[in-house]
Amino acid sequence: MAEYPAKRLRRLRYNPLVRDLIRETILTKNDLIYPLFVVPGEKFRKEVGSMPGVFQLSIDELVLECEEVKSLGIPAVILFGIPEHKDEAGTDAYNDNGIIQRAVRAIKKDVPGLLVITDVCLCEYTSHGHCGLLKGEEILNDETVELLVKEAVSHAKAGADIIAPSDMMDGRIKAIRSALDENGFEKIPVLSYAVKYASGYYGPFREAAESTPAFGDRKSHQMDPGNSNEAIREAESDVEEGADILMVKPAGPYLDIIYRVKEKTGLPMAAYQVSGEYAMIKAAGKLGWIDEQRVMLESLTAIKRAGADMILTYFAKDVAKLL
């Protein structure tokens, strides 16, 4: 092995063309998944206060947005729905005529060729804002899984290309996989939110999705930020249960988890750069405290470098315009 002065690591950094040649991680449009929020109504387009550039959209506006997303070369969107009615059991989540089901049908009809992923959880649909059925203040597991299964099948029937359960109940991947198969959807992949932390970074999302829990928190199902061996156990059990793609969420503060889960499972990895990560970069950029564009690209490159094959990000349109 050469040593200094024969060894000079800066040698490959002087010329920008050499830097381009040796770059290991390059972000591409194919890595991007754009999250969208669908609401009832028509011609409705309302910016989310804590997420500049992100809007709640009625289905007609959503279709227009999807046309733009597709024309920018972004391959996929993930949909979150805010229903007309919320109730204790989140029934609109598994209503074949619910907000997501109608949105999926509209996109599939008017924007063919755009991949539509649907988020499967109950928190946007329950009156109490929790991710499942409650007994007192406890979120029931097995009873909730039955409803998530109905939601997943209903999304697939509407035409969803990939089903993404984000609830963190035990056993839901196995239950959803077998229900999809029984209903003729054996070709529809399951993208599991396998490792989802109970995170303060979801704040702005809850404003966008109107899904803040009425009491308590999500710590009885989402993971403790201090744990990483547990992330491996979560990921491995989802692999056994039949997940096709694994997600880690949030992304930037959990790069070690993305790396470890990828190393351990070898499955395709998704990472979700969540609303709070986006909001912080946007806010500091607005204040002139950081260079927003530069930090945006750096944050996404870091997530890919850690092992993510795809990134869910509110920056998708901004990045696609640059690439």
Catalytically annotated residues: 196, 249
CA distance 117 to 110: 16
Which of 93, 36, 30, 96 lies closest to 64 in space, CA to CA?
36
How far is CA 120 from its chain centroid?
Answer: 11
Matching residue, tokens 């092992």: 307
Based on CB atoms, which residue is closest to Zn ion, 121 or 269?
121
Tally of CB atoms within 10 A around 271: 32
* Closest distance to ligand PBG from the beta carbon of 3 (Å): 47
Among 38, 39, 107, 131, binds Zn ion (CB under 5 A): 131
Tally of CB atoms within 10 A around 307: 17
Indicate which of Zn ion, ligand PBG, none lies near residue 108 (CB less than 5 to 8 Å, by partner kind): none
Based on CB atoms, which residue is closest to ligand PBG, 131 or 270?
131
Q: Say which residues have a Cβ less than 8 Å from residue 205's Cβ, sequence separation at least 6.
A: 51, 211, 274, 275, 276
CA distance 304 to 26: 8
Based on CB atoms, which residue is closest to ligand PBG, 23 or 257?
257
Among 36, 54, 123, 152, binds Zn ion (CB under 5 A): 123
Q: Which stretch binds Zn ion (CB under 5 A): 7-15, 17-25, 101-109, 122-130?
A: 122-130
What is the biggest distance separating any 2 CA atoms in the chain, rounded to whole angstroms? 71
The answer to the question of residue 121 lying near Zn ion (CB under 5 A) is yes
CA distance 32 to 319: 9
Based on CB atoms, which residue is closest to ligand PBG, 60 or 141?
141
Based on CB atoms, which residue is closest to ligand PBG, 81 or 186?
81
CA distance 105 to 107: 6
Q: Which residues bind ligand PBG (CB under 6 A)?
A: 119, 121, 123, 131, 166, 202, 205-206, 211, 218, 274-275
Enumerate the β-bridge partners of residue 223. Answer: 197
| Burial call 81-91: b when 16+ CB within 10 Å, e when fewer | bbbeebeebbb
Site string for Zn ion, 51-90 (x = CB under 5 A): ----------------------------------------
Indicate which of ligand PBG, Zn ion, none lies near residue 119 (CB less than 5 to 8 Å, by partner kind): ligand PBG
* Closest distance to Zn ion from the beta carbon of 9 (Å): 46
* Closest distance to Zn ion from the beta carbon of 193 (Å): 9
Residue number closest to ligand PBG, CB atom: 205
Residues that bind Zn ion (CB under 5 A): 121, 123, 131
